[in-house]
Amino acid sequence: MDQLLNDFSPGLFFMQAIILLILILLMRKFAWKPILNSLQDREDGIQDALKSAEEARKEMQNLQADNERILNEARAERDGMLKEARELKENLISEAKSEAKSEADKIVAQAQATIASEKKAAIAELKNQVAELSIEIAEKVVRKELSSKDKQLELVESMLGDVTLN
Amino acid sequence: MKVFQRSLKYATIVLLMLTGSVVCASSGDEQHRVGGNPIDTQEEINAYIKHHLQDSHDFTFYTNGETGTHYGFPLPVILWDGGIKTFMSSKFHHGETVAESGGSYYKLYHGKVYKTDAEGTITLDDHDHPTNTKPLDFSITKSVVGMLLAGLLMLLLFSALARGYKKGPIPSGFARVLEPLVIYVRDEIARPNIGENKYRKYMGFLLTVFFFIWILNLLGLTPLGFNVTGNIAVTVCLALFTFFIVQFSGNKEYWKHIFWMPGVPVPMKIILMPIEILGMLTKPFSLLIRLFANITAGHFVVMSLIALMITMKAVFGPVASTGMSLVLSLFISVIEILVAFLQAFIFTMLSSLFIGMAVAEHDHH
Amino acid sequence: MYNLIGAGLIVIGGGIGLGQIGGKAMEGIARQPEAAGKIQTAMIIIGALLEGLAFGALILGK
């Protein structure tokens, strides 16, 4: 201790204090402040970059999800449209079919009706003609048969014979 | 003698090659002789090492013992003795002559300047301490040169790093080595100990002190023969800076814990007060003693191991003693490189710990 | 002479303390290797405090 106190040089202490003080001030101004600021800036920059990268990734994910959703929607819409179209087509076809069928049925029915009425008319006419012809024939026959007096008498006789007087 | 000198030269070259300029704290100084006699006794080596551990007023790289000439350069001496007196330390002739300045006479005695009469008589008391008056000595001594060198180095390196950031966010070249160190001090030392919100204010001090101590510790391992951080005045100054910063940043809680410890009975508070005040003072004291003792012990051990070459020569012969000293001093020097960093780290770490204690917001338990 | 005995005692005490710190820290690291960094830092700090104490005693005794 004694020797240490003897070794202690106040002059060196004083010089050291001044040098250290000046050095601290100079270093603060010219070195530490800019260095620490740049380091801080750089670290902040890295943090920001990481954060924005993360955000971009999230956004990308969102976008992708969005895309997926839109695609799905579009697909569903297309499917719906296709389905609708198919239904429409089927409807149209079936409608057309049924209409055609009913039309055809109607035509057939009309045709049948016409045929039936024609047939009836034809039958009626045939009946008339047959009746006229039979009358003519019958007239002719009758005329011929009853051309003589005795034949007329005979007929009257037979007829009278048929008529049993009761 | 020739063999010894050659082996020493060889050892120096090998050491320099092996570990750069870091190892071999002043092996050149080993050749120093006093008055033409080689230093080869235990006492002389001890005295020589003691001389090295002290600050000196000139820069001596090498002394030729046979001719008595010193190779190096003098440094300016600035004294306050009823007025400023300045002269170059070459006037002292390494303590051999009396320097005259402004009508007063000064002499170097064991590295310190004493006021003497014209003949340079130094009177000693019973404990071998000179009774002559000591003028206040603001000289640019070897340690001051070391500090200026370290400061200049720091300014150059770190302002280059700061300028590098203007070009882009990532530094290039040597700055790439410095940046992780700055980040290390910030993230491993300051932030966890002081707290996220308050550490920024103290970064200037902590970073400066960390690199200042580290560079000076490393300079002490070069053959230039600096011993700045192993100088009690320097460590006292560093520790006082920490002390004042801690006291000035102490909040109400801190002072309350010192003078009126909350949560204990009143008689206990009274007993605790002087203990806490003592603790306040012993913290910087242990800081300054630790740094001083570690570096001094390191220098002492390295130099003693280098001196093995001389002391063991009689027993093992020049080659074996040189080899032994080479291996051992290399080993210790590598450890000293670690210690150089560790002491800078611990000084900064404990400083920030003390600051953290002073600014902490206590949650009452 | 007494100084040297005192220094020896201080070194013994300090050595025991440092050994305890180092040993326990090793145990801790072995038990929880993931906490190695924190344990190391704490170990160095406590070691430094002990060292300060021992050096203080050495210097005061000298």
Nearest to A19 among B148, B170, B231 (CB): B148
Q: Are residues B131 and B166 in the same domain?
A: no
B177 and B96 part of one domain: no
Helix (H) or strand (E) holding A50: helix A33-145
| B341 and B206 in a common domain | yes
- Give the three-class secondary structure for B49: helix
Judge whether B365 lies within some domain.
no
Look at chain B and report how many structural domains it folds into. Answer: 2
Q: Which candidate from B282, B285, B350 shows the least CB-CB separation from C48? A: B350
Q: What tokens appear for B279 in the block?
A: 């603790």
If we measure between CA atoms, which residue out of C54, A7, C11 comes closest to residue B227? A7
Tell me whether residue B284 is in a domain.
Answer: yes
Other beta carbons less than 10 A from residue B306's beta carbon: 29
Q: Which residues contact A157 (CB under 8 A, 6 or more apart)?
A: none
Question: Is residue B100 located within the same domain as residue B169?
Answer: no
Best CA proximity match to B227, nearest among B292, B289, B272, B310: B292
Residue B54 within a domain: no
Band of residue B17 on the pLDDT scale cut at 50, 70, 90: very low
Min Cα–Cα distance to chain C from B286, Å: 5
Q: Where are the domains of chain C?
A: 17-61
Q: What pTM, to 2 d.p., does this model score?
A: 0.74
Q: Are residues B320 and B236 in the same domain?
A: yes
Euclidean distance between the first and the last CA atom of chain C, given in angstroms as a whole number: 11
- Residue numbers of A between 4 and 43 with CB closer than 8 Å to B: 4, 6-17, 19-20, 22-24, 26-28, 30-36, 38-39, 41-42
Residue C54 pLDDT > 50: yes
Rounded Cα distance between A23 and A26, Å, is: 5
Q: Are residues B112 and B246 in the same domain?
A: no
Q: Are residues B157 and B120 in the same domain?
A: no
> Measured at the alpha carbon of residue B336, what is the angle toward residues B210 and B236, in degrees to the nearest 5?
45
ipTM (interface pTM): 0.84
Q: pLDDT tens digits, residue range A37-76?
A: 888 888 899 999 999 999 999 999 999 999 999 999 999 9
Domain assignment present for residue B256? The answer is yes
Q: Does B242 share its domain with B112?
A: no
Based on the domain organization, do B195 and B294 belong to the same domain? yes
Task: Give chain B's count of helices (H) and strands (E).
Answer: 11, 8
The minimum CA-CA distance between A9 and chain C, rounded to whole Å, is: 17
What is the identity of the amino acid at B180?
P
Residues 52-81 of B with CB under 8 A from A: 54-55
Q: Which residue of B has its CA nearest to C53?
A: B286
The pLDDT, as a whole number, for residue B237 is 93
The domain limits of chain A are: 21-165
Contact: B349, C52; criterion CB under 8 Å: no
Strand B99-101 and strand B69-74: the pairing is unpaired
Q: Are A10 and B233 a contacting pair, CB within 8 Å?
A: yes
CB-count exposure of residue B101 (10 Å: 0-12, 13-18, 19+)? middle
pLDDT of residue A24: 92
Average pLDDT over residues B144-153: 91
Any domain includes B15: no
B118 occurs within a structural domain: yes
Cβ-Cβ contacts under 8 Å between A and B: the total is 121
Cα→Cα distances A62→A57, A66, A77, A112, B59, Å: 9, 6, 22, 72, 73
Distance CA A103, CA C20 (A): 114
- In terms of residue numbers, what domain contains B288? 144-359
Q: Using CA atoms, how far apart are residues A39 and A29, in angstroms rounded to an integer?
A: 15
Mean per-residue pLDDT over chain A, rounded: 87
> Is residue B168 a part of any domain in this protein?
yes
Best of B208, B238, B289, B296 to disrupt the A interface (most A CBs within 10 Å) is B208
The whole-number pLDDT of residue B142 equals 87
Q: Is residue B55 part of a domain?
A: no
Nearest C-alpha of chain A: how many angstroms from B263?
Answer: 38
